[in-house]
Amino acid sequence: MAVNVPGLAAVVVFDIVILVIGIWASRKSKKVEKTCAGTKSEVAIVGGRNINVLVGIFTMTATWVGGGYILGTAEAVYSPSQGLIWAMGPPAYLTNFVLGGLFFAKPMRSKRYVTMLDPFQHRYGNMLTATLLLPALMSDILWVACILAALVALPAVADVSHTINLNQTIGTSWVGELKLEDAGKWADEMLLLALGGLAYQALYQRILSAASSAQAQLSLEQWLRLQASERELQWVIRISVLVVGLAGTGLAFGDDSVFGLWLVSSDLLYCVLFPQLICVLHCGFANSYGAFSGFTMGLLLRALSGEPLLGIPAVILYPGWREVHGVIVQYFPFRTLAMLASLTGVIAVSWLVQLGFYHKLIPQSWDLLGAFEEKTKGQEEEVPVPLEEKNNILNTKL
């Protein structure tokens, strides 16, 4: 396949423009940072909470519309086994934005959280929150791999004659077909993108190093000592970005499917972290015991279902499974099953444990996680803090 030189040159120029804009924005942000009332870490993570509506629209769009979104959608459309009907990114992310604005934005902003993991830390404590960090961190590594895989794929611009032959071959089938036996897999992937993204750190922080910022706060301020300097926190963020980038680079060269990495990057968020986020924000009786039970159930079911992209064999074979090119593919909505099991585990175990402690069916000495001893403190910490007038106006507009 010949390389389209003008196309390759356009890609190089495009990347250089992005780099120049990034350097310019970085220098300008340092000047603007001095006028912000918040700390340096808050400015770095949430932009000083003073992003206007126009910039907010672009940054929210950029949360999802990247290399993985564009090339992943193109890969699905032109794949002979999929087609346009399997390119569920646009409708899924539209649903994601609507649900996020209706049910998640207000409780997160009203309490001035800095990262998505803050509500978990306030209710469950540091250790359990650190455990919940792992799926988010893994998701970011896979997302970086998806972006880098898309970047690597860009220079391989096909020759025009090759593209014409491809269009003549599959021109009548690019829309794709959704068979009844494939409906479970289609619905599972649609819900994965639409709901799994609601537990994605960048959706709330709108910056590139979102998950690394959460990692920095937990690993430094909470694990090493209670108070860390702004300089130390900034360095932990930089190191975390480097580590996540290197890990993502290694995964990017291990697989050439941008669409596959795109899906897997939201996998653990959907199966494990999404039900946890629902409960911590909208379920008043959720506690550490329920959270740990739901985390274990969701992670176990997802791991036993297998993941061909990461070389994890399937132990549980759900109805409708098939062997494609020597690899077992699950057509049952197993991810949704794992998510529902995790959600049920959090709610059921939390309610039963709370019932046991409140009615003294379980001795107080058995409260090993201190969930009920810290209940009053946690509620006091979660009392909404009055926002600045600027933030109230921004919330109303958004």
pLDDT per position as a tens digit, 198-209:
888 777 665 333
Residues 236-241 have a mean pLDDT of 78
Question: How confident is the model over 389-398, as pLDDT tens digits?
Answer: 444 443 444 4
- Token readout for 92 is 């899924």
Q: 2 and 148 in contact (C-beta within 8 Å)?
A: no
Q: 84 and 176 in contact (C-beta within 8 Å)?
A: yes
What is the pTM (predicted TM-score) of this model? Answer: 0.77
| Residue among 337, 369, 374, 377 at smallest CA distance from 353 | 369
Q: Which residues contact 15 (CB under 8 A, 6 or more apart)?
A: none
According to the per-residue pLDDT averaged within each range, which of 89-93, 145-149, 184-188, 198-202 is highest?
184-188
Residue 328 is classified by DSSP as: E
Between CA 193 and CA 188 the distance in angstroms is 9
Question: How confident is the model over 315-360, as pLDDT tens digits?
Answer: 999 999 999 888 899 999 999 999 999 999 999 999 999 999 999 9
- Token readout for 83 is 């087609």
Q: 196 and 302 in contact (C-beta within 8 Å)?
A: no
pLDDT at 193: 92
Q: 120 and 280 in contact (C-beta within 8 Å)?
A: yes
- Token readout for 242 is 């480097």
Q: Which residues contact 75 (CB under 8 A, 6 or more apart)?
A: 257, 258, 259
Instruction: Kindly list the distances between the CA atom of residue 147 and the CA atoms of 142, 171, 259, 366, in Å, as whole numbers in the listed order.
Output: 9, 28, 11, 47
Q: Work out whether strand 327-329 and strand 322-324 pair parallel, antiparallel, or are unpaired.
A: antiparallel
One-letter amino acid at 348 equals A
Q: Which residues contact 307 (CB under 8 A, 6 or more apart)?
A: 264, 267
323 in helix, strand or coil?
A: strand
Q: How many residues does the chain have?
A: 398
| Residue among 232, 209, 243, 244 at smallest CA distance from 45 | 209
| Sequential DSSP letters for 48-89 | GG---HHHHHHHHHHHH-SHHHHHHHHHHHH-TTS-GGG--H
Per-residue confidence at 239, pLDDT binned at 50, 70, 90?
confident
Question: What's the per-residue H, E or C state across 187-213?
Answer: HHHHHHHHHHHHHCHHHHHCCCCHHHH
81: left (phi over 0), alpha (psi -120 to 50) or beta: alpha
pLDDT at 230: 66
Burial per residue of 168-204, b for 16 or more beta-carbon CB atoms within 10 angstroms, e otherwise: eeeeeebebeeeeebebbbebbbbbbbbbbbbbbbbb
- The Cβ of residue 41 has, within 10 Å, a number of other Cβ atoms equal to 22
Q: Which residues contact 392 (CB under 8 A, 6 or more apart)?
A: none
Per-residue confidence at 51, pLDDT binned at 50, 70, 90?
low
Q: Return the minimum-mean-pLDDT range out of 24-33, 203-212, 250-259, 314-323.
A: 203-212
What is the torsional sign of CA 38, 43, 45, 49? positive
Between CA 212 and CA 192 the distance in angstroms is 22
Residues 41-50 have a mean pLDDT of 59
**31 or 189: which leads in pLDDT:** 189
